[in-house]
Amino acid sequence: MLLEKKVAIITGGAKGMGRGMSTKFAEEGCSIAVADIALKEAQETIEIVKKKGQEGLACECDVTNLNQVKNTVEQVVNKFGKVDILINNAGGMAGTPPIEDIPEELWDKVINLNLKSDFLFCKFVVPLMKAQKYGKIINLSSIGAINPPAHAIAYNTAKAAIIGFTYDLAFALAPYNINVNAILPGPVQTSFYDNFIGSLPEEAKSQFFQGLGKKVPLQRVGTPEDIANAALFLASDQSSWITGITMLVAGGLPLSPNLTPPHRSEK
């Protein structure tokens, strides 16, 4: 097992990519703490973790609230005694109006959810990792940070900032044997898209994702397991000499699927 006897905090682990990573990590021997404002769904994730034979803890947490984040980390340490892996996965959009129509409150909400949350969890987890001279931090950015598929300036700005946050932290924590990397997912079939298609019937949703997949060079949208597999590599000791990278997990994006790749002529 790649993560045997390790302990991971996964923010936003109640569903989607977070649940996928929780499940995959549990299969590899990792105890899981899910930090999410949706407690019922977080508990459902932990039930899956337990069925995989691992210990789990569901923590109701507003990841933008300093006191709640501090309390969550304390709960994890009280139960498991340590934190080996931190997955800063919590995030989301809150509308995509043009910049001139964005209220200040909406801007702050999106920046806090996607960026401040990473800062808060690192603030309380990093000292633990420094003390044990070991740690893996994985920050979830987005392909929108480098190649926005649509105008969502608050979200894309926050995700771009995560890249700089990752680089700086990777440099600062390298002497403590702490690896810090970022994953940039492309389009992944999760409830993230409910803001756009949540009211559609299931058949229409399926058609939406099929159409979205045609824009991807590998001709499909991603799954939570695709992201979980990449995160597993970065969370395991197989990546012990990798820090400060941004890993695109996007089916070939931003390469264009409309260009015909060159083929070697056969003689």
How would you list the strands of the sheet with 135-140, edge to edge? 56-60, 31-36, 7-11, 85-88, 135-140, 178-185, 246-249
CA distance 159 to 157: 5
Distances, alpha carbon 56 to alpha carbons 37, 53, 85, 206, in Å: 16, 10, 14, 33
Catalytic site includes residue 167: no
- Which tokens go with 221? 């949208």
Helix (H/G/I), strand (E/B), else coil: 204: helix
Q: Which of 155, 167, 176, 193 is catalytic?
A: 155
Residue appearing with tokens 């633990």: 128
Please tell me the distance from the alpha carbon of residue 186 to that of residue 208, in angstroms, as a whole number: 15
- Give residues with Cβ within 8 angstroms of 249, minimum separation 6: 183, 184, 185, 186, 222, 226, 227, 230
Ordered DSSP codes for 11-42: ETTTSHHHHHHHHHHHHTT-EEEEEES-HHHH
CA 192 vs CA 95, 136, 150, 158, 174: distances in Å: 12, 25, 14, 16, 33
Residues forming the active site: 155
